[in-house]
Amino acid sequence: MSSSRRARVILLSGPSGSGKSSLAARTGLPVLALDDFYKDGDDPSLPALAGGGTDWDSPASWNSAAAVAAVAALCAEGAADLPVYDIAASAATGVARLDLGGAPVFVAEGIFAAEIVAGCRELGLLADALCLRGRPSTTARRRLLRDLREGRKSVGFLIRRGWHLMRAERAIVARQSALGCHPCAGPEAAARITACTEPADAAVPVEA
């Protein structure tokens, strides 16, 4: 993909369980799963919880530099080899290739997407940055059902984490908004994503 035709990224953030993956899939656009850039469980730089264990909800558990590099490669080349991360195993287990197929815009979604807004903007890669928000109780229920279905962690861990995240949800949204993401519900986010796919002059009437 030439520099004159390089793609741009829509960063989709929000609390865990807010519906990012589902919304990204419904757009029909290529999707970069940013959760695949978690650090491996034996990485010595992982942040620890006060009571023991790893704080997987801290941005320090995530490789932001690798995520920005992947976004930049996709925007410039139209394809990139990406890690495949197994959350239950706390480790990258393989590599997969994502090809944009010539799409001028793609979605990069994950709970830490807001952490790379500034980096993507500085590189001229950003089409939009959004933060999904909703009722904390709804998010918590959706998150727990998903995590239990996928066997992401032990049941006890998921319940403790879910309670903590539900209480912290408004602060999480506020932080992601401060980092440059527009807070909105699903319908508005979908509309903004659609607008990014339209030609720049699509809304400009043609003069007779």
Segment holding 192, helix H or strand E: helix 186-197
CA atoms within 13 A on the CB side of 145: 9
Give 3-134+172-197's CATH code, choosing from 3.40.50.10470, 3.40.50.10490, 3.40.50.300, 3.40.50.720: 3.40.50.300
Computed over its alpha carbons, how large is the radius of gyration of the chain? 18
- Write the pLDDT tens digit of every residue in 41-62: 999 999 998 888 899 989 999 9
- Write the pLDDT tens digit of every residue in 162-183: 788 888 788 999 999 999 999 9
- Write the pLDDT tens digit of every residue in 53-91: 899 989 999 999 999 999 999 999 999 999 999 988 999
Q: How far apart are CA 130 and CA 20, in angstroms?
A: 10
- Write the pLDDT tens digit of every residue in 97-131: 999 999 999 999 999 999 999 999 999 999 999 99
Spans of all domains in the chain: 3-134+172-197
- The two tokens of residue 133 are 């928000």
Q: What is the mean pLDDT of residues 15-34?
A: 93
Q: What is the pLDDT of residue 46?
A: 96
Q: What is the pLDDT of residue 193?
A: 97
Q: Nearest 5 degrees, angle CA 14-CA 17-CA 20?
A: 55
